[in-house]
Amino acid sequence: MNKVVFKLIALWWFLATSVLANHHIAMNTVLPGEQKMPPVKLHSLHLAPVNIATTIDQLAADDRIAWQLESSSHLAIQQGINWYKVVVHNASQQTASGYLTLGNDIAINSLDIYSVQPGFNSLNAVNQSQTTRLLPTNNRFTELILAPNEHRTLYIRLAADNELYRPLVVENVHAFMQSSGARHYQNAFAVGGIIAIAVMSLLLYVAVRDPALSWLSAYFFLRAILLSVLVGGHLYYLFPEHPELRGGELLALVALSTLAFIWFTIHLFQLKQQLPRFVYAAKWVSLGLVTISVFSFYMPPSLIVLATNILFISTLVVLFSLGLVLYRRQQRLAFLFSVIMAVQFVFGLLISLGLFFDVSPFNARESLLIASFLFNTTLIVFLICRMYYYQMHDKQLAQKEALTNALASQKAQAQLLNLQEENQEELEQRVQERTLELNIALNELEELNRELEQKNTIDELTGLYNRRFYDQRILAEYRRSKRNLTPLSLVVIDLDFFKRVNDKFGHIAGDQCLSWLAQHIKQSLKRSTDVGCRYGGEEFCLILPDTDQNGAIALAEELRKAVQSFDFVYQGESISLTVSCGVATYTQQENIAPTHIFCAADKALYQAKRQGRNQVNSQDISPDLLIQEHSHD
């Protein structure tokens, strides 16, 4: 799997460098008989919004205006109205034709280009009838045809919502066609590559049914559309008669792709079991992201750009911090996940610098965008490959261990047969010896299988059964109770004010408190059929078969008194702890499922909390009960 990823990276690198090389050659190629476009002199004049009534005739006729000569081919665009004067001189004896191209951006809300008609050398003589207005185009290029020895003066009126730098390029026809084709090929390659990865993720999800892959596929699809928008394929380009669409899809796509990546992360690291509060917060964040995506089409472009940057940076910071938290918990892939978030942040910073500083390579915005998206896609694919590598590695280790034990058993049996053929008199004694060895090997294999099963059903912190075992056991006991007509009781236990312990003494102390409570729970269970489980966080459950409500209340009360009687000691300091308990008993009521039993016990726990904590409460089971949303403190 890793070799496939490395080959994919090498292929993308080769194609990307080939596209850039072809683009560079096309920019500097002149066909036989075609004149290379002459260099231009760029002058700029930035007008405040109050001067928006200034006309082209006033600018062209007024020679007192102090135009500032620009030293760079990138326009320094300020917020508001900007005027630029471009002087082009064809010093050759042949007609030169080409295109004037301005890099596009959603912050540019209007672009008008005016040209002085040939034959008028004095700017003071220019008036409305002698001025030609060239209509702006959505891809921001205008055709130029210069006669031999012609001086051409162009005036550009540009309105922008933000300050930014965009390139202004004059190319001959062949170079323009080659560079445009190379740019389109480069963009199509990047977008198509990400879509291919999205389709592959979707097919892999259909094959293995891993929810993380479905969210990853959605994320890649949205990222491909987002990259297409960033390189020019936005709605305003498709529908130029609707300027209200300018930039609306940018924030919507960023919000929806962020939502998809958050839920991909939740399923990748199984955060529902490890960080349930993060998952709860993610649900509200997802609702907010959907709301943002809907209202983004009603925001002005300046607010869209600001909101997009804030959302992008805050998401990366939160996910990077999440990776560090998981890395502290020795979670696989957490460090690689943090590295991916850090790399994405660096790319975002470089792209942002290109909007405000005319410094190479920051001003190569499209190339940085494509490199950022492709590199991010490659790293995430590598992350998925590592995840499946670890899963396959663990499975291979278990199979190898089982095979080793099976071979040992087979070898022992072969030795028994050989001994039987060699010496019939010693057969019985040898059979007993070899049978003992075989039993030991089988016991070891069975012990390994039990350990493997316990790892899947035992909570590592408390030593009690985990949530998965609880779901299986409560269903089995419910069926047995319903079949044998015996009572089944459930006790839900929660530590009171547990958050205060975490806040005052730290999460390590909190973990030890949970382990200490688990020991009391084990001591309170008198029968082998009684089961104690950690349901989640500081909440525990006791499954008590063949136990009526009074017996369950008595057991819960005994546990409550035991916890209250002994102080938990952490680093020499005593901590008084109490628990609240909720009890529910199933006696074959109609239309009752295991979830209703838990809902009743959970509601009893909720009532115990409301009535002052440190007490046991019970609740009758009803199919109308719902799980209570209450604080664990």
Catalytic residue ranges: 538
Say how far apart CA 527 and CA 472 lie, in whole Å: 19
**Phi, psi angles (nearest 5°) of residue 601:** -65, -35
Q: How many CB atoms lie within 10 A of CB 418?
A: 11
- Please name the amino acid found at residue 630: H
Helix and strand counts by DSSP (H, E) for the chain: 17, 17
Q: What are the structure tokens assigned to 40, written together?
A: 């231009």
Q: Of 105, 73, 68, 61, give the one whose Cα is nearest residue 85.
A: 68
The count of residues in the chain is 633
- Residue in 620, 465, 476 with CA at minimum distance from that of residue 532: 465
What CA–CA distance (Å, rounded) separates 430 from 423?
A: 10
Secondary structure (3-state) at 86: strand
Q: What is the 8-class DSSP label of residue 30? A: -
For 72, the 3-state DSSP assignment is coil
Which of these, 489, 469, 490, 494, lies nearest to 563 by C-alpha position?
A: 494
Residue 550 identity: N
Contacts of 60 (CB under 8 A, 6+ apart): 114, 116, 123, 126, 131, 153, 155
What residues contact residue 445 under an 8 Å CB cut-off, 6+ apart? 402, 405, 406, 409
Say if CB 465 and CB 459 are below 8 A apart. Answer: yes
Alpha-carbon span 335 to 241, nearest angstrom: 48
Is residue 89 exposed (0-12), middle (13-18) or buried (19+ Cβ within 10 Å)? middle
Q: How far apart are the C-alpha atoms of 486 and 477, rounded to whole Å?
A: 10
Percentages of the chain per state (helix, strand, coil), in multiples of 5: 60, 15, 25
DSSP state letter for 245: G
Structure tokens at 574: 């005593």
Nearby residues of 177 by Cβ (< 8 Å), 6 or more positions away: none
What DSSP designation does 424 have? Answer: S
How far apart are the C-alpha atoms of 454 and 267, rounded to whole Å? Answer: 23
Partners of 573 in beta bridges: 570
Gap between the Cα atoms of 493 and 581, Å rounded: 5
Distances (CA, A) of 302 to 161, 163, 290: 6, 10, 20
Candidates 466, 430, 384; CA nearest to 216 is: 384
